[in-house]
Amino acid sequence: MEKTVKRRAVHRWWVLGFILLGVAIYIASLSLPMLVPVRPHIQVAPEALSEPFETPLGQMYIPNTFPTLILTVLIIVLLAFAVRQATRRGDLVPKGIAGVMEAGIEVLYNLNESTVGKRWAGVVFPWFATIFIYVLVVNLVKLLPGFETIGLLHHSAEGHETQLLFGNVYTVLAAEAHGEGYVVTPFFRALSTDLNFTAALALISVVATQVIGFRAQKFRYLLKFFNVSHLFSKPFFGAMDFLVGLLELISEFAKILSFAFRLFGNMFAGMVLVALIGSLIFLPVLNSLLPAMVVMFEFFIGLIQAFVFGMLTMVFMAQATQGHGDEEHHE
């Protein structure tokens, strides 16, 4: 009990220290222009880190979400390696990162089994867990210091003045340049703010759902989209069933748009919110607390969006394993 109280006291000192540091930076910014927050350049499409180059598929360039893609893959590989090294010790009760991962995977699997059922839980779980873990890493890695703030300077008609720090390193000042100034193209941008990534992830989710549906029901799965079982025996109701099936087919394509724009819209809005709040100057204490509160809010939004994406994938796959029409009633 005493150790818990001491830990809480230490955490409070850390919080107070960061608040005082924010106040000190605010006071210093009044006399040092380089410390004044700068409202960043906000662009929907990812910024280009390279000049366009020709490929067999046409003209392409390297966006600043590509380094983030490599970083997230490295983080997951290192996490898996750390868990593997921890489990090699042979402890009956996993500790550290292995214990955390085991508890998390167990919670996800129990949720998956209660939703899908024991028969198809082992088939659906890898998709559900992979999507959830990867989207969670993608959403949280953008909260690391340096994201969307360190990069290359590019000319812009609405750019800012710059000041040399050392060598070939410059900082962007809050004052707008008279004429042509500079904007920062960050080396790392949140991967979930790239519509290409969210659309690709949505396409993988929907296609995998159809594959599992065919695996579970074989060709009977097509009755979900082209229900002609009662088209001749009961023409009116058969025609209604056929039209409902066509609506189901349209809804499968709509899922791709829904998945892609839900994740993209929430995370892009969060990026804009963090950028705007961080560029405003409030009272000293508020200038320290508000950005921290927004970042904490973004942490929960990233967690919720990863869970929603994974849960919807799992629910749609569970529905795909169930029968339709006469087969379902017969069972």
What would the pLDDT profile of 122-167 be if each residue is shown by its tens digit?
Answer: 899 999 999 999 999 999 998 888 888 888 888 877 788 888 888 8
Q: Which of 11-15, 106-110, 233-237, 240-244 has the highest mean pLDDT?
A: 106-110
Residue bearing tokens 């004429």: 179
Task: Measure the CA–CA gap between 251 and 289, rounded to whole angstroms.
Answer: 44
Q: Which long-range contacts (CB under 8 A, 24 or more apart) does 23-28 make?
A: 23/284, 23/285, 23/287, 23/288, 26/281, 26/284, 26/287, 26/288, 27/284
Categorize the per-residue pLDDT at 173 as very low, low, confident or very high, splitting at 50, 70 and 90.
confident
DSSP codes of every residue in 224-240: GTS--TTTTTSHHHHHH
Q: Which helix (H) or strand (E) holds 53?
A: strand 53-55
Q: Which long-range contacts (CB under 8 A, 24 or more apart) does 5-10 make?
A: none
Task: Measure the CA–CA gap between 97 and 16, rounded to whole angstroms.
Answer: 29
Q: Give this prediction's pTM.
A: 0.82
pLDDT at 222: 81
- Residue bearing the bigger pLDDT, 108 or 95: 108
pLDDT at 25: 67
> If you average pLDDT over every residue of the chain, what do you get?
81
pLDDT at 171: 81
Determine contact, residues 182/154, Cβ cutoff 8 Å: yes
pLDDT 10s digits, 255-289: 999 999 999 999 998 888 887 777 765 555 565 66
Q: Using CB atoms within 10 A of its CB, is residue 75 exposed (0-12), middle (13-18) or buried (19+)?
A: middle
Q: Which helix (H) or strand (E) holds 184?
A: strand 181-186
Q: Is a pLDDT exceeding 80 seen at residue 225?
A: no
- Report how far Cα 218 is from the mean position of its chain's Cα atoms: 33
Helix/strand/coil (H/E/C) assignment for every residue in 284-308: HHHHHHHHHHHHHHHHHHHHHHHHH
Task: Measure the CA–CA gap between 143 and 10, rounded to whole angstroms.
Answer: 24
- Taking alpha carbons only, the member of 309, 206, 212 closest to residue 256 is 206
pLDDT at 36: 66
Token pair recorded at residue 170: 């410059």
Token pair recorded at residue 94: 């996993």
Looking at residue 26, what DSSP letter applies? H
Q: Is a pLDDT exceeding 70 seen at residue 10?
A: no
pLDDT at 101: 87
Looking at residue 224, what DSSP letter applies? G
Average pLDDT score over residue span 80-94? 77
pLDDT at 68: 93
Task: Measure the CA–CA gap between 25 and 64, rounded to whole angstroms.
Answer: 29
Determine contact, residues 170/49, Cβ cutoff 8 Å: no
Name the percent of the chain lying above pLDDT 70: 81
- Taking alpha carbons only, the member of 169, 152, 170 closest to residue 161 is 170
